[in-house]
């Protein structure tokens, strides 16, 4: 592998990413024969096939996948080196890529804006996605930090708590259970329609964990939705009830558009974390942002009436 070149590695990665030699050549602005030659030279060095044709597309072999993963680490290190050199030239600046789960978008921008006021020359790239998308971005060194509720277990990370993350069940104000003063047993919700997030969402996972003891083999009536905003609007319209992060509904509860049901065992109080890959070296700007979240992040969490 010491005799490989970045051009060979990048050609292979482009074919794997795009699925065809033609698309890879367009992405790298070279001819298709040049891509083919680079991949062939790399396969000759390695001694085993790195891609295989499946239908009309190329897929990586196990060896090809290993090399593509290694290239991602190399590219991340090269990027870190470039950023470090830029910070040496221009003290106090730098770049940070941060990902936040969609539930955290209700408070993360305010915290980032406050950080930017302290360090206006730091360039921040913000990525919003569900938990699975953030784990993928961390794994592939696409982001420096992540704000999420459950740190990944697939690889080693450093996770620092920034504050409580309560999760509740909400209903429209005119729902029959909305004005109950006594605790509602979860079994009373068996016939309700639940509006739930998509698979891969941390909220969906928490909901299923909470309700598994209630419904056993009989799942609740569910309507899947891809965003908290859609779920809130649907609950207000009377389409169903929802298990949701309390930090997404603070405003609607305050102005009376939504009600938090007094369900036994709720709220579940989990934690918000600022997470990074243990093996990823943080440059000064990213370190400063991580420290900001650890020291001040909790002050930006929404205050929810009634909790």
230-242: pLDDT as tens digits: 999 999 999 999 9
Q: Is the pLDDT of residue 216 over 70?
A: no
Q: Which helix (H) or strand (E) holds 245?
A: strand 242-245
Q: At what angle do helices 6-18 and 32-46 cross, to 10 degrees?
A: 110
Are 218 and 82 in the same domain?
no
Taking alpha carbons only, the member of 303, 297, 253, 295 closest to residue 148 is 297
Confidence (pLDDT) at 278: 93
Give residue 169's pLDDT band: very low, low, confident or very high (50, 70, 90).
very high
Confidence (pLDDT) at 201: 85
Query: Average per-residue pLDDT in the chain?
Result: 91
Beta bridge partners of 269: 166
In the numeric block, the tokens 């079994």 are attached to 187
Are 199 and 278 in the same domain?
no
Give residue 89's pLDDT band: very low, low, confident or very high (50, 70, 90).
low
Q: Is the pLDDT of residue 121 over 90?
A: no
Cα–Cα distance between 180 and 154 in angstroms, integer?
42
Which tokens belong to 157? 């990370």
Cα–Cα distance between 93 and 30 in angstroms, integer?
35
Are 76 and 66 in the same domain?
no
Residue 1 lies in a domain: no
Are 94 and 137 in the same domain?
yes
Among the three residues 53, 70, 87, which one is the final residue of a domain in this structure? 70
Are 118 and 216 in the same domain?
no
Q: Are 83 and 283 in contact (CB under 8 A)?
A: yes
Are 126 and 275 in the same domain?
yes
Average pLDDT over residues 280-303: 93
Taking alpha carbons only, the member of 130, 126, 106 closest to residue 116 is 126
Q: Is the pLDDT of residue 217 over 60?
A: no
Q: How many CB atoms lie within 10 A of CB 38?
A: 23
Confidence (pLDDT) at 21: 94
pTM for this predicted structure: 0.70
Confidence (pLDDT) at 90: 61
Are 76 and 141 in the same domain?
yes
Q: Is the pLDDT of residue 147 over 60?
A: yes
CATH number reported for the structural domain that contains residue 229 in this entry: 3.40.190.10
Are 242 and 264 in the same domain?
yes
Average pLDDT over residues 3-26: 93
Which range, of 50-59, 82-91, 131-140, 194-203, averages the lowest pLDDT?
82-91
Cα–Cα distance between 89 and 229 in angstroms, integer?
43
Phi, psi of 200 (to 5 degrees): 100, -15
**Please, how many CA atoms are within 13 Å of residue 61, restricted to the half-sphere of its CB?**
11
Average pLDDT over residues 184-199: 89
* Cα-only R_g, the chain: 24
| Owning domain of residue 293 | 72-163+271-300
Share of the chain above pLDDT 70, in %: 96
Cα–Cα distance between 275 and 98 in angstroms, integer?
10
Give residue 170's pLDDT band: very low, low, confident or very high (50, 70, 90).
very high
Q: Coil, helix or strand for 78?
A: helix
Cα–Cα distance between 115 and 136 in angstroms, integer?
25
Residue 218 lies in a domain: yes
Q: Are 245 and 203 in contact (CB under 8 A)?
A: yes
- Give the number of domains in the chain: 3
Are 158 and 275 in the same domain?
yes
Confidence (pLDDT) at 293: 97
């Amino acid at each position: 592998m010491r005799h490989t070149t970045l051009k060979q590695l990048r050609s292979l990665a482009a074919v794997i990413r795009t699925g065809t030699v033609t698309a890879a050549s367009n992405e790298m602005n070279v001819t298709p024969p040049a891509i083919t030659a680079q991949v062939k030279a790399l396969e000759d060095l390695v001694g085993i096939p790195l891609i295989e044709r499946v239908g009309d597309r190329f897929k990586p072999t196990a060896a090809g996948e290993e090399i593509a993963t290694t290239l991602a680490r190399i590219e991340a290190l090269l990027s870190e080196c470039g950023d470090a050199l830029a910070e040496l030239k221009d003290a106090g600046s730098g770049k940070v890529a941060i990902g936040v789960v969609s539930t955290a978008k209700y408070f993360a921008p305010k915290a980032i804006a406050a950080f930017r006021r302290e360090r206006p020359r730091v360039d921040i790239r913000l990525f919003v996605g569900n938990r699975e998308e953030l784990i993928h971005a961390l794994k592939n060194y696409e982001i420096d930090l992540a704000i999420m509720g459950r740190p990944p277990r697939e690889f080693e990370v450093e996770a620092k708590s920034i504050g409580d993350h309560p999760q509740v069940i909400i209903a429209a104000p005119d729902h029959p259970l909305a004005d109950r003063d006594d605790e509602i047993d979860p079994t009373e919700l068996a016939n309700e329609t639940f509006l739930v997030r998509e698979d891969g969402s941390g909220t969906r996972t928490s909901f299923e964990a909470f309700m598994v003891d209630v419904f056993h083999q009989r799942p609740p009536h569910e309507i899947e939705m891809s965003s908290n905003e859609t779920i809130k609007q649907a609950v207000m319209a009377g389409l169903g009830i929802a298990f949701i992060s309390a930090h997404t509904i603070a405003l609607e509860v305050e102005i009376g558009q939504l009600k938090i049901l007094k369900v036994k065992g709720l709220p579940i109080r989990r934690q918000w974390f600022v997470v990074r890959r243990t093996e990823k070296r943080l440059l000064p700007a990213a370190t400063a942002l991580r420290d900001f979240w650890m020291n001040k992040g909790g002050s930006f969490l929404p205050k929810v009436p009634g909790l």
